[in-house]
Chain A
């Protein structure tokens, strides 16, 4: 694969992640199982009229995308690739409930129009007048990683030099309620700060939008290099260590060269054992970083983890709130990310700093 550099990284999350002077220090803890993103003012990028009709996901996505482009100092990307596990769930809910409540009468098209999964990617393109390649991936916990794979392949095929990729998901109140009923979402949380150390059934649900400009060109301002991405639909706990070792080997490295692992633990006692096995085993000697107690769980939460990893290279320290063990890195040059959701859709991402 041709090299792929990360030229900018922007994250809107339940933390103050837009402020470049604060790298998850301090962090905000919440005392409820559904945590909202801190959405900045959108007026620079979206007209007030349009913003009124837009759901949070679209607003977050458009703002994060535009900020990522600005940070990378480019006007038009050669491709826009968006990942979203649930799509515009709020507009979907609005339209479904209107259909039922009004017995299929007196409906207006706005929420239907905005409910399609590609709305965020489309609105970014529309705002930029960008006629380039535009894809939206909607495959659960690997929606964002699918974007990374696609972008890498575009560079390899020499179809693009600058690609905007991102992950975005928003809350839907009804959808969250339903996930509470089936135990995927916790009922109560005394403090999100403790969920990783005191797991209980279900996750804390979050939302957010993280966008990045990837490029096949090296640059002084590049944050890191995206070395490799792999996704696995199914892996057993027994198979995972071997898959990880093989993934690293395929990229001419091994665990002795990895300075930190960024893990997707979400405090769900039914599934965090998947991480725990690795934390005690394969990753036992490595500094371990967690983030979902800060971002909450959502289908593209790993894009927040990806943002966090790019910041690790810059800061060269792991924020105290993210340390899952007491091992500190001497340097942060190579970072491995591993994520999964409810035992499926595993992903590995390998990043290398300068």
Chain B
């Protein structure tokens, strides 16, 4: 059974709405730049997918009271979630059993690192202390949207929002909810910049997914949400369906806390599981929206996993990380939006900055905007802790 997607919202470094993101993707305009909204010693050694709208602007757009304690993660999350709800034409949350499942890895870390010691000395910013934990942004979004029952948050590093979408689809399928808003949000922070920097996997140039000479990833920030609705609700309210969640898979690589196994076992299992849930043979997949972070480890491991699953018949592949950077817990959700746009427009968005195939695996991604007939898109997201997740979206 497929689960209908009836709305979507997104904010990323290539645009503050679905429409803006689509235009940037179609015109191959990347959102990779130099960090400008906060200070970091590493500013000139890295490139980032930063959203150039500052917090004050979001606060005004969202009409927040001056006493609010939103982290940037919450600001991005609410912006995207509101667009998704508008897009789905939901008039009253209470007209169906509605839930919210979000995902984050940094949560309110931006405020914590900003006021870490200052909190001890001065009272002024202490309102943000409560906003640190992972569930805070979700709770705020739920309140704003009027969702009062099932609300939860998933944090499985860079696969987080894939798991939020998966859980949402399962809850609709099993009849626990009629409607669920699913996605994720993560803002840029010194914490993640320095963390990935110590792992020496940040590139000083625009990232080059699947390139033999890739130097590492660009960190980004983003939020995206989908509205999933049951068939009964779609029928009853005569909803327009954008696409469907057709399959999902979750497996653990159980290899290393941060590195992926050389043979991509966890990723292979996740893709196979998703195909099984969707009831599809690998040949049915028309395009793979890869995780493709452009780290040496991920892209090799993922390439091997793709070859494990698709053998000699690998469908067109691209990673859209060259547009947005790696947006951590939000990555799977924004790539879900991109996949839905691909299905709607029947076009593949390119893998930017690619020159030379990885010698070992030879996968050559799609490098220009390409029209292509597609019914099924497979999207991968993998994270620290061996968390591997795959989603399959279908046009009808």
Contacts and interface: CB of A to CB of B under 8 A. Distances in A.
Same complex for A and B? Answer: yes
Interface of A: 80, 85-87, 92, 95-97, 99-100, 103-105, 107-109, 112-119, 121-123, 125-126, 128-140, 142-143, 146, 149-150, 153, 156-157, 174-175, 177-179, 181-182, 184, 231-235, 299, 344-345
Interface string B337-363: 000000000000000000000000000
A242 to B, nearest CB: 13
Nearest to B129: A178
A80 B40 CA distance: 37
A345 B152 CA distance: 9
Contacts of B112: 96
A120 B253 CA distance: 15
A99 B266 contact: no
B153 A126 contact: no
A58 B89 CA distance: 44
Contact of A85 (B135, B148, B173, B386): B135
B117 to A, nearest CB: 7
Given A96-B112, A122-B385, A134-B387, A116 B194 contact: no
Given A122-B384, A130-B254, A139 B135 contact: yes
Given A134-B386, A182-B129, A235-B148, A118 B153 contact: no
B60 interface: no
B163 to A, nearest CB: 6
Interface residues of B, number: 68
Contacts of B384: 113, 116, 118, 122
A86 B151 CA distance: 17
A122 B257 contact: yes
Contacts of A100: 113, 116-117
B247 to A, nearest CB: 13
B154 A95 contact: no
B152 A139 contact: yes
A115 B253 CA distance: 19
Contact of B256 (A126, A175, A344): A126
Contacts of B113: 96, 99-100
A121 B148 contact: no
B155 A131 contact: no
Nearest to A147: B152
A122 B133 contact: no
B129 A139 contact: no
